[in-house]
A and B are shown apart, each in its own frame.
Chain A
Amino acid sequence: DIQMTQSPSTVSASVRDRVTITCRASQSISSWLAWYQQKPGKAPKLLISKPSSLESGVPSRFSGSGSGTEFTLTISSLQPDDSATYYCQQYDSYSPTFGQGTKVEIK
């Protein structure tokens, strides 16, 4: 299986800060990467796929980039509602795999 590694595990930032989360794949996955947001007790929510296409209704402060083995999710101006855990996920192989998650906290 393709392993996905996210960093950092936790990020604490203030409202209006720029936040960047990195995701690395154990082998090249081209551009087949998605990002999800999960709040406590809820199902993950698809934010971005391939890896910069924003889902309908997702605020434009979220953006994704990268290709090959290194990808980033950026929140350009952190808002209180962005407090959540974020997961990257590859779908290059027939068995999709997720990263371990990055928790975003508001200071």
Chain B
Amino acid sequence: EVQLLESGGGLVQPGGSLRLFCAGSGITFSTAVMHWVRQAPGKGPEWVSVIRGGDGFTHYADSVKGRFIMSIDSSENKLYLQMNSLRVEDTAVYYCAREGFSSGRCGVFKDWGQGTLVTVSS
């Protein structure tokens, strides 16, 4: 059974930075495809980024491109999301999620962590 646990959220001022972490059990991030998905209060989920553990390929939503960086630490089996130049509209619960590969197609979120809240406010 895959279990994911996010941490690192908190209150940060606009323009600031924060680093989120995702620890996993029952999964090796270096061979998996992993996503970050966020959900602003009262809103639907929003996909943020994906990383392919095998080759480190990453892809980002336009709303975070150039500001967020997703990475994997294979030695510690941890997933990271470095968030820079944070904006008020980045306020959300951030989830890490494992790719589900529907009929070999990427983009389905099969296993989720419990989320970590990021609040961007002055």
Q: Say whether A91 contacts B102, CB under 8 Å.
A: yes
Q: Which of A12-20, A76-84, A94-102 contacts B (4 or more CB under 8 A)?
A: A94-102
From residue A43, how far is it (CB to closest CB) to chain B in Å?
Answer: 4
Cα of A100 to Cα of B43 in the assembled complex, Å: 7
Measured as residues with beta carbon below 8 angstroms from the partner, the interface class of chain B is 20 to 34
B12-51 residues with Cβ-Cβ distance < 8 A to A are: 43-47
Q: Which residues of B contact A98 (CB under 8 A)?
A: 44-47
Number of A-B contacts (CB under 8 A): 62
Pick the most buried of A42, A43, A46, A100: most chain B CB atoms within 10 A of its CB: A43
CA distance A1 to B100 in the complex (A): 21
Please pick, from B59, B110, B113, B114, the residue contacting A46 in the complex, using a CB distance under 8 A.
Answer: B110
| CB neighbors of A among B67-104 (8 A) | 95, 97, 100, 102-103
Return the contact of B44 from the options A1, A45, A53, A101 (Cβ within 8 A). Answer: A101
Q: How large is the interface on A (under 10, 10 to 19, 20 to 34, 35 or more residues)?
A: 20 to 34
Q: Is the CB of B108 within 8 A of A46?
A: yes
Choose among B45, B102, B106 the residue that contacts A87 (Cβ–Cβ < 8 A): B45
Question: Which A-chain residue is minimally distant from B49 (CB atoms)?
Answer: A95
- Whether B46 pairs with A91 at a CB distance below 8 angstroms is no
Q: Is the CB of A44 within 8 A of B45?
A: yes
Chain A residues in 8 Å Cβ range of B55: none
A95–B46 alpha-carbon span in the complex (Å): 10
Give me the interface of B with A, judged by CB distance under 8 Å.
43-47, 59, 61-62, 95, 97, 100, 102-103, 105-110, 112-115
In addition to A43-B95, A46-B109, 10 A-B residue pairs with Cβ atoms within 8 Å of each other are A34-B109, A42-B114, A44-B109, A45-B112, A46-B110, A50-B105, A55-B110, A90-B107, A95-B62, A96-B47
- What 10 A-B pairs have minimum CB-CB distances, sorted nearest first? A91-B107, A43-B112, A49-B102, A98-B44, A96-B47, A96-B107, A50-B102, A98-B45, A101-B44, A100-B44
